[in-house]
Amino acid sequence: MLNNWLKTTLLMAAIVALFGAVGMMLGGATGMLVALLLGGAMNLWAYWNSDKMVLRMYRAREAGPDDAPEFHGIVAELAGRAGLPMPRVYLIDEAQPNAFATGRDPEHAAVAATTGILRLLNTRELRGVMAHELAHVKNRDILTSTISATLAGAISSLAQFGMFFGGDRERPNMVAQLAVMILAPLAAALIQMAISRAREFGADRGGAEISGDPEALASALRKIEAYARGTPMDTAELHPETAQMMIINPLSGGDLRGLFSTHPATEQRVAKLLEMARRGL
């Protein structure tokens, strides 16, 4: 838990520092001051509201026991096994099979699943997936992932900051603006990859322990991977900074899919889960 708090603190500090550096490049001392204030304000806003923003982004609707009884019951049972408060449960009307968890702590957590994943998976596999998402909640890395998704989108739009400041009249800031346009989205992607790749293995392991059934999650991952490749998710394509929150990368990436994926290879994840099963968990 301390490690994830440290990661989140360092991430938020890095965001403020990056905003300040870009502000200095594009607007001198005034630009740096404005950018630092903006970065600090965005951090505070993201801490309290990033989960709500992501859920709205995906047009998620809250589902009670009467709306999705099996799904809601699975989450309730697994939350009890994990010793967690019951999270809010959401459905996303998307054909692509996928799921994610969000929130700033276990007391304010939410899990969301697409209608596509509910149609694709059997009860045992869905149970494995939701145990994975609750492992993210239990590991307290949902705050880091949700804030990184929100702030990565802000980093990617930093190039627009240059329009507010003319820079030094004797030294046009076109080069700085070009650098921001190229490097800011890259920095955002690198932040997401650094956070996401390691935490997915941890959530797979934790989810298998919560459910007591690593083979179910392995089977679910294989199915989701196969179907997700041929089923685009428009919201994720429009907001790629949220891809690292999903159980499987929702983005279409062509030949560069593996290079820029925010997730470990599914084959590696499945192999680790099957090894857990062979050891008897």
How large is the angle between the packed helices 214-229 and 266-278, nearest 10 degrees? 160
Per DSSP, helices labelled H in the chain are 2-57, 69-82, 115-120, 123-138, 142-156, 174-211, 214-229, 234-238, 257-260, 266-278
Q: Say which residues have a Cβ less than 8 Å from residue 66's Cβ, sequence separation at least 6.
A: none
> At 133, which amino acid appears?
E
What whole-number distance in Å separates Cα of residue 232 and Cα of residue 256? 16
- The DSSP 8-state label assigned to residue 88 in this structure reads E
107 carries an active-site annotation: no
What whole-number distance in Å separates Cα of residue 79 and Cα of residue 28? 51
Catalytic residue among 94, 125, 133, 215: 133
**Tokens coding 179:** 């650098």
What whole-number distance in Å separates Cα of residue 250 and Cα of residue 243? 6
What whole-number distance in Å separates Cα of residue 217 and Cα of residue 44? 35
Active site residues: 133
